[in-house]
C-alpha cells in the first residue's frame, strides 16, 4: 500500500484517522496504540514477511536502549558497541550480503551461490533512526523512554518507508503531548494541502518523466540529445518523486497532529555541493554529519583529515543507498566534489583580491553545481558502471547525434519541472511560514513569492489539484526512495 493509491486514500487513512481521534478523546495511550497497530498493518501491506524483521529490530534496540539508560557507566560503551553491531549486522545481512558475495565472485572467479533474501522495505531508515537514539542514550541525552512511544517512533507509518531519518527529540515529546491527540482544524487544512502538493509532484510531474528516463537509460547507445534529456528528466523525476513523498509524509503526519521535519529545501538552487547537501535529503545529511563525519574527526585535525573524513562519509552514504558499486561511485563523486570545493575555498581565502560573489557568479556557481550533480546522477540511476559510462559518453557526444524523437508531452513536463525547481518557491516556503520555528528562515531565490493561506481561493485550487491527481491514479507507481 502506497500513499498514491485508492486503498490508502479511501480506506486506510480515513479509518486510521477516525480511530485515532475517537480514542484520543478518552485515552491517549489507546490512541497511540491504535496508531502503532495501524503502522504495523501499513508495513505488512507491502509484504507480511517484513514484519518479524521490524519487530526484531524494534524489540532488540529497545532492550539495549534500556541497558544503556540503566546500566553502569563502565558498561555503557560495551552495550553501545553491541547495539551498533546488532543494527549493522541486521542491515548488512538483508541489504548487502549478496552484494559482497557477488563482489567476491567477480574478484576471485568463484561461483558462490547467492542467498535467497528478501529486502525489508525501509530497513535503512528505521535502522539509522534507532542508531541515533542509542548513541544519544549513551551520551546521556535521553533519560527515559516509554515502550509504546518507542515502538511508535520506530514504526510510524508516514516515514517508515522512505524517511525522513528522524531524531527522537523531534517526535517523542510530541507523542507524549496530550494536545496532539485532539482535533485541530489548522492541522487538517495544512496537512491536506501538503499531501495534495506532494501527490501532484509524484503523479503529475515525476511519473510523467519516466518515458524520457527509460529511453535514455535503457538505450545501448544513447545519442547526445537523448542522453541529456534522459539525465535531466531523471534529475527532476527523482527530485519530484522524493520531495513529493516527503510532502505527503509531512501532510499525513500533520493530519494526526504530529509534525515531522521537512526534508527538502530547493536543492537545485544550491550554489555549491555542500549547500546542496544542506537542502537535499536534509535528515540523512544531518545523520551523516552528526553520527559519522563528526565522530570520525570532522575537520578538527587539519585539511587532509577533513578530506579523508568527507570521502569516507560520502562513500558510506552512497553505499547506504544501495548494494551496488554505482552507489559507491555516486557517493565517491560527491565526496570528491566536497574536497575540491573546500580546497578551492581555502585557496580563495588566501587571495587578497578575492571579491564577494555577485549575481552573475552566483548563477555560474548554481549551474556548475547542477552539472556536477547531473554527472553523479548517471551512476545513481544506471544499472551498472558500464551503463553509466555509456550514458556519460552519450552526453559528451561520443555516441553521435540524432534528431529529437521524444514525446512532446514529456518535453513539456520536463520544462515545467525545471521551471518549478529553479524559479518557484518550494512547499516549505509556501506553507511552513505559518510555523513560528520557520518564521525567520530566509527564502530561496524565486521569481514569485506565493504563500499559502486557509482561504477559499487556496481551497478551490487545492481541490482542483487533488481532482487531477485522482484522475491520474489508475496505475500507481512506487516511490524511488522506497527501495533504499
Give pLDDT tens digits for 97-107. 988 888 888 88
Q: What are φ and ψ of residue 120, in 5° steps?
A: -65, 130
Closest CA to 407 of 395, 418, 415, 419: 415
Helices (H), 280-324: 282-288, 294-296, 303-321
> What pTM did the predictor assign?
0.90
Residue appearing with cell numbers 516511490: 479
The whole-angstrom separation of Cα 191 and Cα 194 is 5
pLDDT of 349 reads: 67
Closest CA to 275 of 381, 368, 384, 166: 368
Type and span of the H or E element at 38:
helix 28-44
pLDDT of 433 reads: 61
Q: What are φ and ψ of residue 449, in 5° steps?
A: -120, 100
pLDDT digits (tens, 9 = 90+) for 139-167: 888 888 899 999 999 999 998 887 788 88
- Assess whether pLDDT exceeds 60 at residue 301: yes
pLDDT of 333 reads: 96
pLDDT of 353 reads: 46
- Assess whether pLDDT exceeds 50 at residue 64: yes
Measured CA angle at 323 (ends 318, 324), to 5 deg: 80
> When comparing pLDDT for 413 and 477, which is higher?
413
pLDDT of 439 reads: 44
- Assess whether pLDDT exceeds 80 at residue 73: no
Residue appearing with cell numbers 578551492: 344
User: Which set of grid coordinates corresponds to residue 206?
Assistant: 515525476
**342 a catalytic residue:** no
pLDDT grade for 115, boundaries at 50, 70 and 90: confident
The whole-angstrom separation of Cα 236 and Cα 242 is 10
Which of 321, 334, 342, 433 is catalytic? The answer is 321
Amino acid at each position: 500500500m502506497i500513499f498514491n493509491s485508492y486503498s490508502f486514500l479511501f480506506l486506510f487513512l480515513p479509518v486510521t484517522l477516525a480511530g485515532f481521534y475517537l480514542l484520543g478523546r478518552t485515552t491517549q495511550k489507546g490512541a497511540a496504540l491504535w496508531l502503532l497497530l495501524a503502522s504495523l498493518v501499513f508495513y505488512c501491506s507491502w509484504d507480511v514477511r517484513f514484519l518479524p524483521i521490524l519487530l526484531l529490530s524494534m524489540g532488540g534496540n529497545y532492550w539495549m536502549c534500556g541497558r544503556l539508560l540503566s546500566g553502569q557507566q563502565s558498561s555503557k560503551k560495551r552495550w553501545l558497541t553491541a547495539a551498533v553491531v546488532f543494527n549493522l549486522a541486521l542491515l548488512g545481512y538483508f541489504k548487502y550480503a549478496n552484494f559482497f558475495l557477488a563482489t567476491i565472485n567477480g574478484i576471485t572467479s568463484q561461483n558462490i551461490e547467492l542467498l535467497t533474501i528478501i529486502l525489508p522495505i525501509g530497513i535503512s531508515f528505521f535502522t539509522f533512526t534507532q542508531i541515533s537514539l542509542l548513541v544519544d542514550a549513551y551520551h546521556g541525552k535521553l533519560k527515559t523512554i516509554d515502550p509504546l512511544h518507542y515502538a511508535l517512533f520506530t514504526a510510524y507509518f508516514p516515514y517508515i518507508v522512505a524517511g525522513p531519518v528522524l531524531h527522537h527529540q523531534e517526535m517523542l515529546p510530541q507523542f507524549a503531548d496530550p494536545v496532539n491527540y485532539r482535533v485541530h482544524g489548522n492541522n487538517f487544512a495544512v496537512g491536506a494541502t501538503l499531501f495534495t502538493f506532494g501527490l501532484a509532484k509524484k503523479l503529475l510531474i515525476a511519473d510523467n518523466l519516466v518515458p524520457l528516463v527509460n529511453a535514455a537509460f535503457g538505450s545501448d547507445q544513447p545519442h547526445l540529445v537523448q542522453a541529456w534529456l534522459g539525465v535531466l528528466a531523471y534529475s527532476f523525476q527523482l527530485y519530484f518523486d522524493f520531495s513529493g513523498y516527503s510532502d505527503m509524509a509531512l501532510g499525513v503526519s500533520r493530519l494526526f497532529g504530529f509534525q515531522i521535519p521537512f526534508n527538502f529545501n530547493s536543492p537545485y538552487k544550491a550554489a555549491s555541493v555542500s549547500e546542496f547537501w544542506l537542502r537535499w535529503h536534509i535528515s540523512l545529511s544531518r545523520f551523516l554529519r552528526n553520527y559519522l563525519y563528526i565522530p570520525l574527526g570532522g575537520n578538527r585535525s587539519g585539511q587532509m583529515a577533513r578530506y579523508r573524513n568527507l570521502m569516507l562519509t560520502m562513500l558510506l552514504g552512497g553505499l547506504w543507498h544501495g548494494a551496488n558499486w554505482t552507489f559507491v561511485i555516486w557517493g565517491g563523486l560527491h565526496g570528491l566534489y566536497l574536497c575540491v570545493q573546500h580546497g578551492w575555498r581555502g585557496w580563495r581565502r588566501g587571495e587578497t583580491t578575492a571579491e564577494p560573489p555577485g549575481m552573475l557568479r552566483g548563477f555560474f556557481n548554481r549551474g556548475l553545481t547542477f552539472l556536477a550533480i547531473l554527472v553523479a546522477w548517471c551512476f545513481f540511476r544506471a544499472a551498472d558502471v558500464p551503463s553509466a559510462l555509456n550514458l556519460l559518453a552519450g552526453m559528451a557526444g561520443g555516441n553521435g547525434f540524432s534528431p529529437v524523437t521524444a514525446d512532446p508531452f514529456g518535453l513539456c513536463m520536463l520544462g515545467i519541472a525545471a521551471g518549478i525547481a529553479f524559479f518557484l518557491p518550494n512547499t516549505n516556503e509556501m506553507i511552513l511560514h505559518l510555523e513560528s520555528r520557520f518564521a525567520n528562515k530566509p527564502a530561496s531565490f524565486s521569481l514569485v513569492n506565493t504563500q499559502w493561506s486557509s482561504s477559499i481561493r487556496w481551497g478551490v485550487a487545492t481541490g482542483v489539484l487533488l481532482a487531477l491527481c485522482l484522475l491520474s491514479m489508475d496505475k500507481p507507481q512506487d516511490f524511488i526512495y522506497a527501495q533504499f
